[in-house]
Amino acid sequence: MRRFSQRNPLVTLSDINITPLLDLAFVLLIIFVITTPMLEQGMDLKLPKGGKADRKLSREDFRTVEVSAQGIYTFDRQHMTLDQVESELVRAQHSNPSMVIFIRGDENTPWKLVFGLMDRLSNRGLTNFSARAEPPGAR
C-alpha cells in the first residue's frame, strides 16, 4: 500500500489525456455542420408583382469587344479606335435595346484601357455589359 508514497511527488505524467481534446473537436464539428447550411441561405423575400417576364436572349443580342495587350480594340472582328467602338455600340443599342456587351481583355491588358471602355459605355447609357474571363482549366 505504500507503493505510491515511495514515488517522487514531482514525477511528471508521460501520458497526455486526449479525451477532452477529442470532445472539443467533436463539439466544434457539430457546430460547423449545423451552422454552415444556415449561412448559405439567402433572405426569404416575397417579390412584388409586375414588370415583364424575362426574355430569352438570342445570338444577335450579344456584341463582343476585345482589348489586346497593345491597346487595340476589336469589334465585330474589325480593329477600331475607342471612339469608333463607342459609336458602333450606341448605334447597335438603338436597333436592339436588349443588347448585351461582352468585354474581353487579354490578361496582360492594362486595366485603364478596359475601365476606360466601361466608363464611356456607362456615360452613353450602355450599362448592360459583362467582363469575360476564361474558365479555369480551359487551356
For 19-47, write each residue's pLDDT tens digit: 888 999 999 999 988 887 776 555 555 66
Query: What does CATH list as the number for 59-132?
Result: 3.30.420.270
The backbone region for 130, taken as left when phi is positive above 0, alpha when psi lies in -120 to 50, beta otherwise, is beta
On whether the pTM is more than 0.75, the answer is: no
* Mean pLDDT, residues 125-133 taken together: 80
Q: Where in the chain is the domain with CATH 3.30.420.270?
A: 59-132
β-bridge pairing 78-80 and 129-132: unpaired
Q: Could you read off the pLDDT of 48-92 as tens digits, one per residue?
A: 676 666 567 677 788 889 988 888 899 888 899 999 999 999 998
* Angstrom distance (rounded) from CA 97 to CA 60: 11
